[in-house]
Amino acid sequence: MKIGVIGTGNMARFLLESVNKMGKLDGEIHSVFGRNVELGKILEEQYDTAFYQDFKAFIHSPIDIVVEVATIDVAIMHMKEVLESKKDIIISSVGAFKDIRFLKEMKEIARSHSKHIYLPSGAIGGLDLLQSANSLDGLKEVSITTRKSPESLGLKSIGEMEVLFDGSALDAIDQFPKNVNVALLLSIAGIGAKKTRVRVIADPEVNRNTHKIEAEGDFGKMNLTIENTPMPTNPKTSYLAALSILSTLQNKERSISI
């Protein structure tokens, strides 16, 4: 399997290190697309990959699947072209699907070209349970409470815990696009962004990003708490989020997928 990566940041470097250096996948990251020429050239030399600034050249390079680890805007800009080029895509910037019309459009394009859009589980778990619970529309309530340090939320230091947001996942992604992608992912797996409740708390006492997921429906009740260790190279990103992308690539090639 030959992989193309959109992005040149910490996530891209993690994937290049895991795949091209450590051999954690039966394949290679053949191509990287980005705007930072200096950083792109460094990655090209360190990880034996090809760096592209021109997207058409990138998408027509010998790659089988594309992994987006850039930004919401970049994901929206290039997703359609990837699918129309008959390549699967893994999306890390789930906030791209805040617009339900865009989500439906991408679903239809993927279906018409017999391609897939993969959404890694990111920094949370329990998505398989929510999908199962809602298979007969039996999921009634879903909420997620995200607790992070002020620094992880891009804030200055504060003296005590503060609730920054309490509302729907649809509204949360506008205010915290780089921090609550997990909420939108949860809503896609469950009852939708309008019905999924989100609370975002800044807490100076925590050193791990914590997500508490609660759900209720015909299946019963679920309470799941995840305490995530940040990536050493980027405190705003969960290490588990990076691992989930690698796991998605690994499971794509396995005869038995879980």
DSSP string across 71-129: -HHHHHHHHHHHHHTT-EEEES-GGGGGSHHHHHHHHHHHHHTT--EE---TT---HHH
Q: Which residues pair with 56 in a beta bridge?
A: none
Q: Which residues pair with 212 in a beta bridge?
A: 145, 225
* Cα separation, 154 vs 194, whole angstroms: 25
30 is a catalytic site residue: no
* Cα separation, 63 vs 74, whole angstroms: 19
> Could you say which of 60, 78, 116, 211 is catalytic?
211
* Cα separation, 188 vs 198, whole angstroms: 14
Residue 191 and residue 168 in contact, taking contact as beta carbons nearer than 8 Å: no
Please report, for residues 11, 70, 134, the alpha-carbon distance to residue 54 in angstroms, rounded to integers and kept in the order given: 20, 15, 42
Q: Which amino acid is at 164?
A: L
Residue 49 and residue 29 in contact, taking contact as beta carbons nearer than 8 Å: yes
Output the six-digit token pair for 108: 């239809």
Point out the residues that are catalytic.
Answer: 211
